[in-house]
Chains A and B, each alone.
Chain A
Amino acid sequence: MKVLVTVKRVIDPYVKVRVKSDGSGVETANVKMTMNPFCEIAVEQAVRMKEAGVVSEIVAVSIGAPQCQETLRTAMAMGVDRGILVETEVDVQPLAVAKVMKAIVAKESPKLVIMGKQAIDDDSNQSGQMLAALLGWPQAAFISKIEINGDNADVTREIDGGLEKIAIRLPAVVTADLRLNEPRYVTLPNIMKAKKKPLEVVKPDALGVDVAPRLTTLKVEEPAKRGAGVKVADVKELVAKLKNEAKII
C-alpha cells in the first residue's frame, strides 16, 4: 500500500526564538531550521512499515518556501521514495494545510496518511484531524503504536490518563506521538542517494486550493519573565523558605 507523510520545516527546537523588535513576527533570518520532530517520527514510521513489507511506496509532502526541498531531501535520505513540494510564501495555516493535502490525496490515492501530531513552531495540533475530516476518513491522533490488519488498522493512542486502543478502517489519517518510534539518523550514502530521488514542485493554485490565512496575527510578544530566584544552601533552608517565605507547605 502507498503511504503519504508530511514534513514541515521549522525553527530548530533547541534554538532560542526571538520576537522581531516591531512585534510583527519571529526572527527567522540566519536561524537554524530543521524538520519538525513529530514529522520525523511520522517519516520513520512509514519507513519501518516499508522495511517490514507492509508499505510499497512512501511519498513525502512539504508545504512552504523553496527551502522546504531540503526538508524533503532529509525525508528521502531516511527512506522516503519521492517528494512533493507545494511551494508558497504564504503563512499556510492548518486548515489550508488540510485542503492542500486533500488535493494531494486525490492525486496520489494513498491508503494511509501519517503526519506529526503537532508542529513545534505554531503548536496548533490540528492538520491531521482536519485532513481526516475533509476526506471523511477515520482519524487516530497521537498514536504510539499501529498495526495494519487488511483493511483496518489497530492503533494505540496516547490519552491524558494513559493509553487508548481503537480500530480504524483504512484509508485513514494518523498523527504520530513521541513514543511511536525513535527516528534514525541519516547517513551520508543515503543523503547522496536522496539527491537522485524525484522531487516535484507544484503551486497551491495548480491544485485549486486557496491557502489565504483565516487568522491575522495582530502582534507577537515575549511572555512575562519570572523574577530572579534564590539559591538555597541545603534542604533545611529550602524547607524553611517554602514554609516561611512562600508559605506553601
Chain B
Amino acid sequence: MAVLVIAEHDGKLLKPGTANAVTAAAKMGGDVTALVAGHQCGDAAKTAAKLAGVKKVLHCDAPHYQGFLAENLAALIVPLAANYTHIVAPATGFGKNLMPRIAALLDVQQISDISGVAAPDTFVRPTYAGNVMATVKSADKIKVVTVRGTAFDAAGEGGSAAVETLAPGPDAGLSKFNGQELTRSARPELTAARIIVSGGRGMGSAENFKILDALADKLGAAVGASRAAVDSGFVPNDYQVGQTGKIVAPELYIAVGISGAIQHLAGMKDSKVIVAINKDAEAPIFAVANYWLVEDLFKAVPELTAEL
C-alpha cells in the first residue's frame, strides 16, 4: 500500500482540507506521500513536509501549474499513479475539478467525498444530500478518492518528511488561466471556521446581511448562506453552504432566516451545536437545531449581537 495525497495550497500554505485528507489517507494504509504542484510553491512544500503522517513530499514547480489547471495537473499525476494504490485529494472545488480527470485517464471509477474508510478498498460516502450513507467497494486496482474534510480530523504538525523535486509534466496547452476574483474578507474561511453565522431567504436583501456581519464579527465567525440566499443574489456563490456548496461542521452554526431545505441541511447538519432563528414556527431547520428561537430575525439578531 502507498498513498499519494494531492495537496491543495496557495503557494505558501496548505488549504484547509489537505490535512484532513492526510488523516483519511493514513487510514487506507501504507506510506503517505504528498504532492505539492504549482507555480512558486516551495513554501507550501515545506509546510506539507511538517504534516504528521507524511513520509515524503514531491514538489513540482512550473509556470503552467498556475491556476491549477486540471489538464496540466492530470498529465503530471497520471504517470506517477503506478507507484501508488490510492490517490487522494480533498473534496473541495480543487479536488472535485481535478480528480475525475485523473481517474478517467487511469480507467478508474472514482469514489467521491468519502466520510469513512471501512477497508483499503471500501469506503463510506454520503449520497442524496447526506440523507443516505452508502458503503461502496472498489474493484479498481488504483483507488482514486476525494475526502470530505469535516469527516476526518486534520493531521497535526510534527512531521519532517524529505522534500524531493519532481520534474514538471507537459503543458497541455488546452486551457489558459486568466486570473481569480477572490471574495475579500477578514473573517475566517467557511470550511475552517469554529463558528458560522448563515443567512437564508428570510434575510430579504444583500443590504440586510450587514446585521449578520456584525454578529459574525462579534463572534469571530465566518458568514455563510443558504442556496436560496445565493439564488436571490444576496451574497456570492462561495458563501453557499449545502449539498452543492460547501460542507461545514463548525462547533457552532447559527442559521438565521433559513427554512432548512434538504439541500442546505446536507451541508451543515454535522455541526456540533446548531442554533436556528426563524419566525416560522414550522421551519424544518428546527428539527436539526439544538436551540431554536421563533422570532423575527431583524429583532433577534441585533439583540443577540448586543447580548454577546
Interfacial residues, chain A to chain B (CB-CB below 8 A): 11, 13-14, 16-17, 19, 26, 38, 93-96, 98, 117-118, 120-134, 137-142, 144, 154, 158-169, 172, 177-179, 182, 213-223, 226-227, 229-232, 234-236, 238-239, 241-242, 246, 248-249
Contacts and interface: CB of A to CB of B under 8 A. Distances in A.
A17 to B, nearest CB: 4
A118 B104 CA distance: 16
B112 A124 contact: yes
Contacts of A219: 134-135
B136 A217 contact: yes
Nearest to B181: A163
29 contacts: A93-B109, A94-B109, A95-B109, A118-B244, A122-B127, A124-B112, A126-B112, A129-B100, A133-B74, A134-B104, A158-B237, A162-B182, A162-B183, A164-B180, A164-B181, A167-B178, A215-B139, A218-B135, A220-B135, A221-B133, A223-B131, A226-B287, A226-B290, A229-B287, A230-B292, A231-B286, A231-B292, A236-B307, A241-B291
Main secondary structure of the interface of B (DSSP, over half): mixed
A124 B128 CA distance: 10
Chain B, interface size: which category?
35 or more
A168 B97 CA distance: 15
Report which residue of A16, A133, A140, A178 has the largest number of chain B beta carbons within 10 angstroms of its beta carbon: A133
B219 A249 contact: yes
B67 A126 contact: no
Interface in B130-186: 130-140, 172-183
B100 A94 contact: yes
Interface in B202-222: 219
Contacts of B252: 242, 246, 248-249
Contact of B126 (A38, A123, A129): A123
